[in-house]
Amino acid sequence: MSRSVASVPLTPTQLRRVLAGLMLGLFLAALDQTVVAVALADIARDLPGSQLLAWVVSAYLLAMTVSTPIFGKLGDLFGRRRLLAIAIGVFVLASLLCGLAQSMPQLVAARALQGIGAGGLLAVIQALIGDLIAPAERGRYQAWFSGMFALASLIGPTLGGLLSSQWSWRWVFWINLPLGALAYILSQRRLAGLQENRRNARIDYLGSVLLIIGLCSLLWLINRLGHSALWLNVQNGLLLLLAVVALKLFIIQQRRSLDPLIPLALLRIDAVRSGWLLLFFASFQAVGLAVLIPLQAYNSGGAGVSASQLMALALGTPLGAFLGGHFSTRLGRYKPMIVCGAVLLPVALLILSMLPSPHGPATLFVLLLCGAAIGLQFPTSLVAVQSAAPHHHLGVVTGVCGLFRGLGGMLGVSLLTSLLWLLLPGISADSMTETGMNLSAVDSHLLRKAFATLLQIDAAIALLPLLIALRLKDRSLSRDLTAAPE
């Protein structure tokens, strides 16, 4: 069996130095989800093929989501230190190609390659936390990594706008070259003492191909559903059929494979299964609310109100993650913090729907609570999965965490956006898409009522992870790194 451990236990100072390089790598992957958005208009003016502009964002997210479980499995087989080097190399090379692109198809292809590297960074780095830190201490450190996502969402648009306006949109990608090189130097130098044993196992190539086909079809379908109210058409039907067939064949292949890509036995572990679902719903809410809340605020109060509400939501998430990580470390348990977040979110959403005005300090405070409720569940659910799974499957269970987060985020945007269209009768979903979902022509009273109803529906959806959290077994976390399950 494979296990990655430090040859000599790391001191707190050495651990902080290791984490500095790892956090920089994770920050790069998270930053490129948001930094490109502001530069899209400049890209469309500069490159031919503007009809593919949406895929500059979608290709990155799709490739990142699909690649996380594959990189997680490869890390289990061949060692995470070398996989981290490969992921950084792919990400930096793809960033160079993005900046050199001369057409939109070239840029989309390079963004897909960049997403593969980002998926590797997410899967390998978060699994390395399980290698280096005892289960009871992981929540505290995973919270820092959750903070990297919030930081990237806050500074990404500003940084992208600054780089594209002062120099060129190409620098949005080229800035990754020195940062990626620094992440490589820091992480590889600090991880030099990590002993890794390769497993004698065969890569499940057929399973990998089937998983890629199935997930790409499913994610493409979800993306299409979020941009049109006309769900019943031939292309959507074909995508659904391809996804179902490919994923069904993938499951069959996993049952017959000697070393499956995602061992189905992991689904029989309660904390693993529940943790994946909790991460799915947490990302569903985080991404869905991050899109819809600023949309409502912009159409009723302008860009300033929209930015302040998005910032309140974004700041609440790392706050909740830090609290969840701190108290899970002190208590030596993850369930209490997961339940707290799962209880707080539907209550906060319901209060938000009943506020008389979508503006003001009360709205900002409740949005802060929503973000904190989501943040309480991110690091603790990941700790629940990692602490319950056998250590030789640490990489793959962590990679699947990233997969469920990606699926949840894309479905959250698609479902909540489609519900909003249904709640605004007489509004053409297609015309809304063409104008970037500009709702300024909608009656303010009708718009406020539609968003209130949408938030109440979302509060009901948030009860599902509460049921999962309540049924989750309360497991004591070990403070001994070597005591992880095998």
The verdict on residue 1 lying in a domain is: no
The verdict on residue 200 lying in a domain is: no
Q: pLDDT confidence of 301, banded at 50, 70, 90?
A: low
* Residues 334 and 377 placed together within one structural domain of the fold: yes
Average confidence (pLDDT) over 9-36? 74
* Residues 136 and 272 placed together within one structural domain of the fold: yes
Cα separation of 218 and 248, whole Å?
Answer: 13
Range ranked top by mean pLDDT from 11-20, 314-323, 426-435: 314-323
Tell me 193's DSSP state. T
Q: pLDDT confidence of 420, banded at 50, 70, 90?
A: confident
Q: Pick the more confident residue, 486 or 416.
A: 416
The verdict on residue 341 lying in a domain is: yes
* Residues 254 and 299 placed together within one structural domain of the fold: no
* Residues 163 and 230 placed together within one structural domain of the fold: no
Residue 109's domain is classified under what CATH number? 1.20.1250.20
The verdict on residue 196 lying in a domain is: no
Environment class of residue 386 by beta-carbon count within 10 Å: exposed (0-12), middle (13-18) or buried (19+)? buried
For residue 480, give Cα distances in angstroms to 124, 138, 390, 473: 21, 11, 15, 20
The verdict on residue 80 lying in a domain is: yes
Give every CB contact of residue 234 below 8 A, 6+ residues apart in sequence: none
Domain count, the chain: 2
* Residues 360 and 394 placed together within one structural domain of the fold: yes
pLDDT at 349: 94
* Residues 248 and 282 placed together within one structural domain of the fold: no
What would the two tokens of residue 230 be?
Answer: 């006309």
Q: pLDDT confidence of 200, banded at 50, 70, 90?
A: low
Environment class of residue 396 by beta-carbon count within 10 Å: exposed (0-12), middle (13-18) or buried (19+)? buried
Cα separation of 16 and 20, whole Å?
Answer: 6
Helices (H) and strands (E) in the chain, counts: 18, 2
User: Of 261, 284, 308, which marks where a domain is finished?
Assistant: 261
Average confidence (pLDDT) over 72-88? 86
Please check the confidence at residue 281 and state whether its pLDDT lies above 90. Answer: yes
**Sign of the alpha-carbon dihedral angle for 226, 230, 234, 237:** positive
Instruction: Tell me which amino acid residue 144 is.
Output: W
Quote the domain boundaries for residue 411. Answer: 11-191+266-480
pLDDT at 22: 80
* Residues 235 and 323 placed together within one structural domain of the fold: no
Beta partners for residue 189, in sequence order: none
Q: Pick the more confident residue, 152 or 440.
A: 152
6 phi/psi in degrees, rounded to 5? -75, 135
User: Of 246, 261, 276, which marks where a domain is finished?
Assistant: 261
User: Of 230, 245, 261, which marks where a domain is finished?
Assistant: 261
* Residues 232 and 108 placed together within one structural domain of the fold: no
* Residues 47 and 139 placed together within one structural domain of the fold: yes
Q: pLDDT confidence of 8, banded at 50, 70, 90?
A: very low
Q: Pick the more confident residue, 431 or 36.
A: 36
Q: Pick the more confident residue, 114 or 360.
A: 114
* Residues 253 and 272 placed together within one structural domain of the fold: no
* Residues 149 and 229 placed together within one structural domain of the fold: no
Environment class of residue 96 by beta-carbon count within 10 Å: exposed (0-12), middle (13-18) or buried (19+)? middle
Please check the confidence at residue 432 and state whether its pLDDT lies above 60. Answer: no
Per-residue pLDDT of 376-386, as tens digits, reads 988 888 888 98
* Residues 75 and 186 placed together within one structural domain of the fold: yes
Cα separation of 378 and 466, whole Å?
Answer: 14
Per-residue pLDDT of 229-244, as tens digits, reads 566 778 888 989 999 9
The verdict on residue 182 lying in a domain is: yes
